[in-house]
Amino acid sequence: MNDSLSQERGFFITFEGPDGSGKTTQIRRTAEWLQKRGIDPVLLRQPGGTPLGEKIRAILLDSRAQDPVSPLTELALMFGDRAQSIHEIILPALREGRVILCDRYTDSSEAYQGAGRGLGSERVLAIHRAICDDLQPNLTILLLPDVEKALERASRRNQRHIQQTGTDENRFEAEGEAFYRRVHTAYVDIAKREPKRVALIGPGTGDDGIEAIASRIREIITTRLEEHLRIGSRV
């Protein structure tokens, strides 16, 4: 690959998975790999990534907040953040032909609010069509470790986050195993429903360990970006 990949049309990649799936590590490694190949990706997280989004993130993720956030309010705030992110970052980057690496997108809302909170997939997807104009990623990397392993990783990560920043983003992790099993099942269902968009990576696919997963992600992205360039050159 070379810099020409970022000069045709933008390419929108999302990273999905439960808390503790290793998304942050793999996004960082993917960004470094792309940069070495002359592609400077746009890095983004949801919720967050914009000034408004970071305020929404603080409301949604702080487990020490005194006022409970209802499931519908949570969903509305997630999509408010997402709409701002699309307007402020994603669409401009796509118009510039950039590669975007986004930590979470609507699949997270379908898994966490739709399944985890019991609001249902159809409600989430209807809001996505209305608020996000049904903007879909070109590729979704879905990291799906075992539930127990993910929860253990998430707990360790949050403790480090508290020590480093003094802020707590533990509200979802506090939901427990039953919640995360619903989230896990929803992610599996999404991958089955959209196999062309979603690349599932986890123990069940033979991919395990940070380097093995990173290598698999590089293979997937290389193939999809080259395919994207071929299609773009014919338009």
Report the binding-site residues for ATP.
17-24
Q: How far is CA 13 from CA 31, 83, 193, 206, 235, in A?
A: 11, 17, 18, 22, 21
Q: Which two tokens stand for residue 66?
A: 């005194």
Q: Dihedrals φ, ψ of 212, to 5°?
A: -65, -40
Binding-site sequence positions: 17-24
Q: Which two tokens stand for residue 71?
A: 């499931």
CA 215 to CA 172: how far, in whole Å? 29
CB atoms within 10 A of CB 182: 18
